[in-house]
């Protein structure tokens, strides 16, 4: 049971805690952002073409400092530290997001694909120049007609036995590469994902390095490129469409870590199963999802820093004859800002766990087992989904909370809102990503995980006795576990436990997750047993599938927050973060109280008590709100310029 005194927050210590292992990297990145703060004004004042060139200039200058190459091998000019690379990218989320995304395209997507899917010959040929930004590239996966369904891409790479070349072709308009960052103006080469054909047989999607411009930036023969035009945001990034008309590349341009074609036209791969080979290939690119989620969470920190500071200065209404009230003294305003503040802290610590797992997997000296990799992919998918949705919701709420001042471009909300909007759909549409999470939960990261599409998941679950899935989720055992830590019996544990007890909060989220997951299994099983088509079964259960996945990820987020706060030494910062942890947990339960009440885990009296406690927690956060947003370490130059007191 939490017993709060009013905490005194040590802001530098709080920033150091949030910066974690890579505090030095994050500090250096902040300094770089301040040096390039002018680009925020450039984004508003320059033409689109000039702004694109300005963003390119910043990216090249950052590359020259080594800032953007931290994740690449030392022998190729990098820093040899994946964790440092993620930390630097996340922190760039405080600044201009066109710069961030162009860095992500060049070094994360283009460079990451060559690093993770290529072999030594590719590393030797491409990594050093791309790390220096001498070789600019793009990541040509997405197609107009195929979106998230990467296995169905239409672009074809046919092996020509006579010339020992691959012939890259766009067979129809739906197969054109689209929304490709860096393509419209700057990329000299592309990593192109295409259906490999050898001897008339398709071997599935593989990746190829394909030159698209010469050293004078002229588009090469057989390649056609169009500008995608003006976008909602990120107009400093030159997105474009690419067509290929029998473009020939040498056999060595196949990124062949997982498969190769001999000169004589023999296809070879150490992974026999085509589906598993495909999912293994995509799994190596998980760093992009980790980075996008982290950047979104940091964009939320910028919005909250601006909105809380404004609410501590702006006054409105009040008692007749007396001074007007500060916005932040209104209970509703506290709810509007402190609930997303608590969730931002929670997601920060969940992201910290995820980034640590990514670093461990990709830095391992021995091969990591498949289950561990699948668990990482699932956690990355879920955290990215929740983090990017949270950014969109938080930035909009903060904009509204600042009234007319929030509508001024100088105060950043327009760019934050527009530039982060696409985060919910790139590196995977969030709903598709949560389906990936659910698939992993239902298959328990079995060897079938990588081979199952949505319909395969339905058939997999249908092939089990439903009790097997329920046993795996352990719904019927959950109460036995929590009886050991909470008062009351099976039926009243959730009514008797203290609301501020982390064991109670976690038990509620675990119970919801496991109940929803077992419910999904029952529905899938029941539909198949009734003779329904698997596609129809999945369609009818899709909302339930997404709900179960989201419940799972929210539980992971709360666990990360609880673990982080309980590990802290006693003091004001621990008390402050415990306040936020309780606020996140109880507001999460409150937001889904209808579900908990419907399923008998929350009485109306208990639901009202939770809402009262949320209000009380907001009042406790109020005196330390400025310190809590200052702890994010958002540079002043990255915040509003025309707010009160700025």
Alpha carbons within 13 angstroms on the beta-carbon side of residue 575 total 14
Choose among 275, 395, 376: nearest CA to 336.
395
What percent of the chain is helix, strand and coil (3-state, nearest 5)?
60, 10, 30
Q: Where are the beta strands (DSSP E) in 414-498?
A: none
Name the band, by pLDDT with cuts 50, 70 and 90, for residue 459. Answer: low
Residue-wise pLDDT tens digits, 277-294: 888 888 888 999 999 999
473 inside domain: yes
> Is the pLDDT assigned to residue 591 strictly greater than 90?
yes
Could you tell me if 308 and 170 lie in one domain?
Answer: no
Q: Do strands 247-250 and 260-261 pair parallel, antiparallel, or not at all (unpaired)?
A: unpaired
As a whole number, mean pLDDT of residues 310-337 equals 88
pLDDT of 355: 97
If you count DSSP H runs as helices and E runs as strands, how many of each does the chain have, helices first?
25, 13
Nearest-angstrom CA–CA distance, 599 and 592: 11
Could you tell me if 65 and 211 lie in one domain?
Answer: no
Name the band, by pLDDT with cuts 50, 70 and 90, for residue 604. Answer: very high
Residue-wise pLDDT tens digits, 167-213: 999 999 999 999 999 999 999 999 999 999 999 999 999 999 999 99
6 inside domain: no
Could you tell me if 357 and 460 lie in one domain?
Answer: yes
Nearest-angstrom CA–CA distance, 379 and 371: 12
324 or 51, which is more confident: 51
Q: What are the CB-based long-range contacts (under 8 Å, 24+) for 56-62?
A: 56/102, 56/186, 58/96, 58/99, 59/99, 59/102, 59/103, 59/106, 59/133, 60/133, 61/36, 62/32, 62/99, 62/103
Q: Which of 106, 135, 164 is the last residue of a domain?
A: 135
What is the per-residue DSSP string for 355-419?
A: HHHHHHHHH-SSPPPHHHHHHHHHHHHHHHHHHHHHHHHHHHHHHHHTGGGGGSGGGSHHHHHHH
Name the band, by pLDDT with cuts 50, 70 and 90, for residue 85. Answer: very high
Could you tell me if 122 and 159 lie in one domain?
Answer: no
> Is the pLDDT assigned to residue 393 strictly greater than 80?
yes
Could you tell me if 339 and 387 lie in one domain?
Answer: yes
Q: Do strands 223-227 and 201-211 pair parallel, antiparallel, or not at all (unpaired)?
A: unpaired
As a whole number, mean pLDDT of residues 319-334 equals 88
- pLDDT exceeding 90 applies to what percent of the chain? 75
Residue 481 has which token pair?
């576990």
User: Exposed, middle or buried: residue 585 (CB in 10 Å: 0-12, 13-18, 19+)?
Assistant: buried
Mean pLDDT of the chain, nearest integer: 90
Q: Which of 222, 249, 274 is the last residue of a domain?
A: 274
Name the band, by pLDDT with cuts 50, 70 and 90, for residue 444. Answer: low
pTM for the full predicted model: 0.92
Kind and range of the H or E run holding 433: helix 430-443
pLDDT of 225: 98
pLDDT of 249: 98
Residue-wise pLDDT tens digits, 413-438: 999 999 999 999 988 899 999 998 98
Could you tell me if 211 and 222 lie in one domain?
Answer: yes
Number of domains in the chain: 3
Name the band, by pLDDT with cuts 50, 70 and 90, for residue 645. Answer: low
Which segment of 72-86, 311-325, 542-556 scores lowest on mean pLDDT?
Answer: 311-325
Three-point CA angle 56, 60, 65, nearest 5°: 150
Nearest-angstrom CA–CA distance, 138 and 212: 10
Per-residue CA distances from 475 to 325, 437, 446, 516, 519 (Å):
49, 19, 20, 10, 10
646 inside domain: no
In this structure, the chain runs to a length of: 646
DSSP assigned state of 443: H
Choose among 196, 203, 195, 117: nearest CA to 159.
196
Q: For residue 292, what are the domain limits?
A: 287-630
> Is the pLDDT assigned to residue 545 strictly greater than 70?
yes
Choose among 600, 591, 606: nearest CA to 515.
600
Could you tell me if 303 and 179 lie in one domain?
Answer: no
Residue-wise pLDDT tens digits, 481-530: 444 444 344 455 556 568 999 999 999 999 999 899 888 888 887 888 88
Query: CATH number for the domain including 384?
Result: 1.20.140.10
72 inside domain: yes
Could you tell me if 255 and 194 lie in one domain?
Answer: yes
Which segment of 163-167, 519-523, 618-622 scores lowest on mean pLDDT?
Answer: 519-523
Contact of 278 with 151, CB cutoff 8 Å: yes
Could you tell me if 190 and 99 lie in one domain?
Answer: no
pLDDT of 552: 96
Could you tell me if 325 and 420 lie in one domain?
Answer: yes
Name the band, by pLDDT with cuts 50, 70 and 90, for residue 480. Answer: very low
638 inside domain: no
Query: CATH number for the domain including 122?
Result: 1.10.540.10
Could you tell me if 458 and 390 lie in one domain?
Answer: yes
Query: CATH number for the domain including 176?
Result: 2.40.110.10
186 inside domain: yes
User: Is 245 strand, coil or helix?
Assistant: coil
pLDDT of 217: 94
User: Is 564 strand, coil or helix?
Assistant: helix
Could you tell me if 100 and 242 lie in one domain?
Answer: no
Q: Which of 135, 157, 190 is the last residue of a domain?
A: 135
282 inside domain: no
387 inside domain: yes
Contact of 137 with 210, CB cutoff 8 Å: no
Residue-wise pLDDT tens digits, 106-146: 999 999 999 999 999 999 999 999 999 999 999 999 999 98
pLDDT of 618: 97
312 or 490, which is more confident: 312
């Amino acid at each position: 049971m939490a017993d709060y005194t009013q905490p005194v927050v040590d802001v530098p210590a709080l920033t150091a805690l949030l910066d974690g292992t890579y505090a030095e990297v994050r500090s250096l990145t902040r300094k770089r952002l301040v040096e390039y703060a002018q680009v925020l004004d450039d984004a508003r004042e320059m033409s689109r073409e000039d702004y694109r060139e300005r963003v390119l200039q910043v990216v090249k200058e950052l590359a020259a400092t080594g800032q953007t190459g931290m994740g690449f091998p030392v022998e190729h000019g990098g820093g040899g530290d994946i964790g440092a690379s993620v930390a630097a990218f996340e922190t760039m989320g405080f600044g201009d997001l066109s710069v961030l995304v162009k860095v992500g395209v060049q070094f994360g997507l283009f460079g990451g694909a060559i690093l993770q899917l290529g072999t030594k010959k590719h590393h030797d040929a491409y990594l050093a120049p791309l790390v220096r930004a001498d070789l600019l590239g793009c990541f040509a996966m997405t197609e107009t007609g195929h979106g998230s369904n990467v296995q169905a891409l239409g672009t074809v790479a046919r092996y020509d036995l006579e010339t020992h070349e691959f012939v890259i072709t766009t067979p129809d308009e739906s197969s054109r590469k689209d929304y490709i960052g860096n393509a419209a103006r700057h990329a000299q080469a592309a990593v192109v994902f295409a259906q490999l054909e050898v001897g008339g047989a398709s071997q599935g999607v593989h990746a190829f390095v394909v030159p698209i411009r010469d050293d004078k930036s002229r588009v090469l023969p057989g390649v056609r490129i169009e500008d995608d035009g003006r976008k909602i945001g990120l107009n400093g990034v030159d997105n474009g469409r690419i067509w290929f008309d029998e473009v020939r590349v040498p056999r060595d341009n196949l990124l062949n870590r997982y498969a190769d074609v001999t000169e004589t036209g023999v296809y070879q791969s150490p992974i026999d199963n085509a589906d598993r080979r495909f999912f293994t290939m995509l799994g190596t690119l998980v760093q992009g999802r980790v980075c996008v989620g982290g950047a979104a969470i940091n964009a939320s920190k910028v919005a909250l820093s601006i909105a809380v500071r404004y609410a501590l200065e702006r006054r409105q209404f009040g008692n007749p004859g007396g001074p007007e009230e500060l916005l932040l003294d209104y209970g509703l305003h506290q709810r509007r800002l402190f609930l997303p503040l608590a969730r931002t802290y929670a997601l920060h610590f969940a992201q910290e766990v995820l980034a640590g797992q990514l670093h461990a997997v990709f830095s391992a000296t021995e091969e990591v087992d498949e289950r561990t990799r699948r668990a990482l992919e699932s956690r990355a998918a879920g955290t990215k989904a929740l983090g990017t949705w949270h950014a969109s919701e938080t930035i909009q709420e903060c904009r509204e909370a600042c009234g007319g001042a929030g509508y001024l471009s100088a105060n950043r909300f327009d760019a934050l809102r527009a530039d982060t909007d696409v985060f919910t759909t790139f590196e995977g549409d969030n709903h598709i990503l949560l389906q990936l999470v659910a698939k992993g939960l239902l298959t328990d990261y079995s060897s079938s995980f990588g081979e199952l599409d949505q319909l395969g998941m339905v058939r997999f679950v249908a092939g089990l006795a439903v009790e097997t899935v329920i046993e795996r989720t352990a719904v019927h055992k959950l109460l036995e576990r929590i009886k050991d830590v909470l008062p009351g019996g099976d039926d009243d544990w959730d009514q008797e436990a203290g609301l501020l007890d982390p064991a109670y909060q976690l038990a509620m989220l675990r119970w919801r997750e496991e109940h929803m997951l077992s419910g999904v299994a029952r529905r899938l099983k029941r539909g198949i047993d009734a003779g329904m088509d698997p596609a129809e079964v999945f369609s009818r259960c899709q909302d339930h599938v997404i709900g179960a996945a989201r419940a799972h990820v929210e539980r992971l987020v709360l666990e990360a927050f609880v673990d982080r706060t309980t590990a802290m030494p006693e003091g004001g910062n621990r008390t402050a973060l415990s306040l936020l942890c309780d606020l996140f947990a109880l507001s999460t339960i409150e937001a889904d109280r209808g579900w908990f009440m419907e399923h008998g885990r929350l009485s109306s009296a208990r639901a009202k008590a939770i809402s009262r406690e949320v209000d009380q927690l907001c009042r406790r956060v109020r005196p330390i709100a400025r310190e809590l947003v200052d702890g994010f370490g958002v540079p002043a130059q990255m915040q509003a310029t025309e707010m009160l007191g700025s």
